Amino acid sequence: MSSAVLSETEAEAARASPLTPLKLVGLVCVFLALCLDAGAVMSPAWVTADDQFYLSLWEACWKQAGSPDRWQCSSNMDTDWRVATLALLLGGGALVLMSFLVALVAVCIGTRRRFYAPVAIMLFSAVVLQAGCLVLYPIKFIETVSLRIYHEFNWGYGLAWGGTIFSFGGGVLYCLNPKNYEDYY
């Protein structure tokens, strides 16, 4: 009888521990979101204007009038909305980092199911924070900054959107019920 109980326990452990392709793709999505968020925070180009002006989350740089090769930069943390934008993006990035670490720990140890829900909750919270940042930024930028030349939101802003989309995708993949899918793998 003890061998039957032991084999039942082993069978349950085998069913609880496989890493499904959905969760592996979710982990990859979270890693990509983390990389894109880091790139967005460090990007020098959230807004550009005719190779004369660059605006990042941290500073604004423009070419000096007399010298085409000299740039002058100043801190960009002078208004509340810019600080709020940075705080929302960094807060979302911190949640993505924590969810990546928890998901990585879940892959490394045998009991994964209990980690799925916290990872998904952290990712969806990060999506809310980052989407708020990405909606706030262009609204307040257009409202407060008056550039008289053509300007566009550049690749740094796009990286932040990419990180938000990958966070959402990872959250969806971690929400899928593993009991319904793990038996197939």
Per-residue pLDDT tens listing for the chain (185 residues): 445 444 454 444 444 545 677 788 888 999 999 999 999 999 888 888 877 788 888 888 887 776 767 778 888 788 888 899 999 999 999 999 999 999 888 888 766 677 888 999 999 999 999 999 999 988 888 887 766 667 788 889 999 999 999 999 999 988 886 565 545 54
**Residues with Cβ within 8 Å of residue 112, at least 6 apart in sequence:** 16, 17, 19, 23, 106, 178
Residue 179 CB-density burial (10 A; 0-12 exposed, 13-18 middle, 19+ buried): exposed
Backbone torsions φ then ψ of 56, nearest 5 degrees: -110, -175
Return the pLDDT at 133. Answer: 93
Return the pLDDT at 12. Answer: 47
Return the pLDDT at 5. Answer: 47
**Residues with Cβ within 8 Å of residue 171, at least 6 apart in sequence:** 119, 120, 123, 124, 127
